[in-house]
Every structure is written in C-alpha cells, then in structure tokens.
Chain A
C-alpha cells in the first residue's frame, strides 16, 4: 500500500510542474517504475486516479511501464537481471526491497564471484517520462 505514497509524490510533482508552466489541463502522463519496487499496478492506478480528482489531472490517462532491473558486480564486472536471482530471495526480503529498493544490497551477492559490492544498473527508480497537455 505504499503505492499511495508514491502516487502522492507523482501527482504532487506533476501539479507543481504544471503550475510552473501555467498548464491548465493534462491529457496523458507516462510513468516509468523500476522492477525492484514491485509495484501493484492496480493499486497505483487507483491511487493516481483518486488523488487526481478535482485537479487538472482529473481526465488524464496514466501510462505506466516497468523497467527491468539489472545488477552489475563492481569486482568482476558480471551483469545479471534481478529476475534470475529473485527465486533465491525469501518472500519477506522481497517485501523489504519493495519498500526500499536499495535494501537489495542486504540480500543479494554477485552470482559469479559472490561479492556484495554491486551496483543497481537500472530498475529501481521512479520517474515521469512524458507529460502530454
């Protein structure tokens, strides 16, 4: 349910930008969300629509797409996808990553050299890709 917290930040951000640009109506918003967040799309969309009521976003279409998560070892350079490793992570730890994506560093290591020093190349952020008005 922290999808609501993210939805609040998205709506707040768009309204702020629209105000700065003197935009009176928004038609469409493209949102990208990293896979690590494991967002419940249905809840996020309900939250976005609810929070948009009585604003210039009320009639907007929200297009949300997921960015696949990739990790890269800083020691041996091996790159792998989160999906490859997800089955090895306990359910409660997956839930922890859902709340704070960076916490993945506590639960995963490089499948090749076992280093804990890796970077999240992509798939953890949330951002507004485009706004149509």
Chain B
C-alpha cells in the first residue's frame, strides 16, 4: 500500500515537472526537432545527469541496489526509437 502512495506522490512530482518545463505543449516538443527551442533536451539531459550521479553515489555507499536494467536488444531499441520519433514529431506528445 505504502508503495502505491509513493507511486502516486512521485507521479505528481513527475507530472508537475513536465508541466513546468513546458513539455505538455506541442510546440515545445516539435521545436526541439527544429533546433529552435532546446527545452526538451535541456530538461532530459539535466534529469539524466542528476539521477545518474545520485544513483551511482547511493550505490557506492551501499544504500541501494539497482533494479533490472532495461534489456539491450539493438534492433528493437533502434527500430522502436525510429517509430516512436515519428509519432512524437506529429503529435507533440
């Protein structure tokens, strides 16, 4: 139960950050593909840097173990990404 409450709270913080970064708007998503507004990239890469440093520090301290790492399967990741990009560019989601 406590896990579900955590999920809800984390989800709210997640949605809030997406909204404040402007990623709920069509033009923000598409303009990163036109190189006229790099907010999506700045947002994603900042989140990545913060979370990867945090996680590796915590693992180094022995406080956490990593969950299952998403499987690498080159063709699937690439083809999926290519299809995903088409959808993302025309909908702006």
A binds B: no
